[in-house]
Amino acid sequence: MDEKKLQELRQKIDALDNQILEMLNRRAEIVIEVGKAKQKSHGEYYVPSREKAIYDRLIASNPGPFSDEGVRRVFREIISASLSLEQPMKVAFLGPQATYTHVAAMQQFGFSAQLVPLKSIPSIFDEVSRERASYGVVPVENSNEGVVSHTLDMFMSSELKIIAEILLPVSHDLLNLSGQSSDIRKVISHPQAIGQCRSWLEENLPDVPLVDAASTASAAQQAAEDAGVAAIASESAASLYGLRVVKHKIEDNPNNFTRFLIIGREIQGPSGNDKTSIMFSVKDQVGILYHMLEPFSKRDINLAKIESRPTKGKAWEYIFFLDMEGHIREQKIADAVEELRSLCQFLKVLGSYPKAR
């Protein structure tokens, strides 16, 4: 390609960039007006169902060659920057930085949100409850390792609601300062990450001690301070802590996802493709397990998950957590929940929110 033709193409790109910039600022002006209207009506300024509708509409009308995922990423940052114009958004997450919860928070809220790392799941609930943070991001289950019990336990005492969920594919890298496996004297990571890579570790580093850490990110921090330590962590942890990759994707099961919940103070409106979560404790009587599922079965409501946790007050009594497809404002969902309530010692609706893609 000759220089003249290249220059002409670059000028066309510059002209389009100027148009994009003009459109972004026009969009921002409207967003500011939306923020003022929400303040008058005391409406929630972050609405996951509205965000999902924007993504779905744009992807459905995307002719290419720009990829659908590229569209989603670009508009995630546009939406993130726009929301920061309405009101500064502070989001608490289970830290430190470069944990998978941090990655999930960035994926949901973009880089314009103020993402605040906290040391424990209870502290995240407390920060949102006291309105020191607008929202919180907490892990709730992994496809291989099961539920995060601390998160489920917090809903027993908290009035916070689930407003969205995130499904994040989890891929573990082995990291150290040199990038050489011969330098590894011990491997450090969160117990779940070690468990998810155990077969690979036994086959490739059978004589290397495995040490638990509070998080994958704290393991990366330790690896950055000791040349004999390798960490199992995310690829983002490598860049943040100045580490090199010894081996990419060492997880035993490549189909590894972690589900995260976004917690806030109000149940959101329907998006058209929602999930509702409830928790309840049933009365001890014959056939109660059958009867607690009957309200959903006879209304053809699909149950996505059911989990039980022992109560802390009395032995052999359980709290059930149930996810169903649909929104609590749908009549059949509301009717099923009310019928179940008649069988329960207590029942709490934890939230209705858009299903993760």
Active site residues per annotation: 258, 260
Name the CA dihedral angle for 357, 267, 344, 259, rounded to a multiple of 10 degrees. 30
> Could you count the other beta carbons within 10 Å of the beta carbon of residue 51?
20
Owner of token pair 């032995």: 315
C-alpha–C-alpha distance, residues 195 and 347, integer Å: 34
Show the DSSP H helices in 42-113 as ranges. Answer: 48-60, 68-86, 100-109
- The strand ranges marked E within 143-282 are 146-147, 161-169, 173-176, 186-189, 210-212, 229-233, 244-247, 257-264, 274-282
> Which residues on neighbouring strands pair with residue 278, listed in sequence order?
322, 349
C-alpha–C-alpha distance, residues 321 and 330, integer Å: 20
| Nearest C-alpha neighbor of 195 from the set 124, 251, 140, 257 | 251
193: tokens are 């990450």
> Could you count the other beta carbons within 10 Å of the beta carbon of residue 63?
5
C-alpha–C-alpha distance, residues 28 and 46, integer Å: 15
Radius of gyration of the chain (CA): 23
328: tokens are 């609590």
- For residue 357, CA distances in Å to 54, 112, 169, 292 come to 14, 22, 12, 29
- For residue 85, CA distances in Å to 31, 34, 80, 309 come to 7, 10, 9, 42
**Beta strands 186-189; 210-212: pairing state:** parallel
Element (H, E) at 297: helix 288-297
Using alpha carbons only, give the angle 327, 333, 337 rounded to the nearest 5 degrees: 120
